[in-house]
Amino acid sequence: MTGPLSRSVEDYLKAIFQLAERSEWASTTDIAERLGVAPASVTGMVKRLAESGHLEHQPYRGVRLTEPGRAAALAVMRRHRIIETFLITKLAYDWSNVHQEAERLEHAASEELIERMAFALGQPRYDPHGAPIPTREGSIERLAYVPLADVEVGARVALRQVSDEDADRLRYLKSIGLVPVVDLVVLDKAPFGGPITVRVGQRETKDRVIGPDLAAALMVERR
């Protein structure tokens, strides 16, 4: 596999990187679910990427990226997150609908265009959803965030990162003021996986009740 990588290959490498952030290995089943493709398609692509040196495959464990695969995945993620940041900051896109636009553009934008965008933005470290932007050199910040669902009652935290993939959820979060980097205080947690009550903001505060699934998807930093 020489020359520029195809869109499909870039999508696979990015998906594997993101899945492996939670555990070292990504299963073919998880890859298929994330990309919305048949398991047989994943098997074929995994074989190609292993042959090209972009990933390592071990039966019953799954796959993990090699250094070339990791570098390629981070390059795609850098393009995606800078494009998202540029569209929102410079072109007034809403944070709820920018993901799909960036998905399309990330495969077409040249490195020169991305670096010009990054310069115009002041070399941002995070995208508008709180995700770290990989550097041009191919490194990415490791963030010590925890899910809001894991925070104890009385804790003061700052919302730092939300997923950019669910437009409806992003619109809802914005409507109730849950955007990076708002301050939160955990007021109450119902037992048996029930809802969580948080106080949003510092000066003009509002109390919000959040379901456990949503709370698990909100990454926060302890104050």
- Percent of the chain exceeding pLDDT 90 equals 89
Question: For residue 141, is pLDDT > 90?
Answer: yes
Q: How far apart are CA 77 and CA 127, in angstroms?
A: 11
Per-residue pLDDT, averaged over 12-29, amounts to: 90
- Residue 180 domain flag: yes
- Measured between alpha carbons, how far is residue 166 from residues 51, 96, 97, 180 in Å? 34, 7, 9, 16
- Would you place residue 22 in the very low, low, confident or very high pLDDT band (cuts 50, 70, 90)? confident
Distance CA 186, CA 184 (A): 6
Determine, yes or no, domain membership for 27: yes
Report the 10 Å Cβ neighbour count for 194. 12
In a domain, 167, yes or no: yes
Convert the pLDDT of each residue in 66-113 to its tens digit: 999 999 999 999 999 999 999 999 999 999 999 999 999 999 999 999
Q: In the chain, helix, strand, coil percent, each to 5? A: 45, 20, 40
Of 29, 49, 65, which residue constitutes the final position of a domain? 65
Please indicate, yes or no, if residue 34 is contained in any of the structural domains. yes
Which structural domain range is residue 151 located in?
146-222
Looking at the domain assignment, is residue 153 inside a domain?
yes
Counted domains in the chain: 2
Which of 19, 36, 65 is the last residue in one of the domains? 65
pTM of the model: 0.90
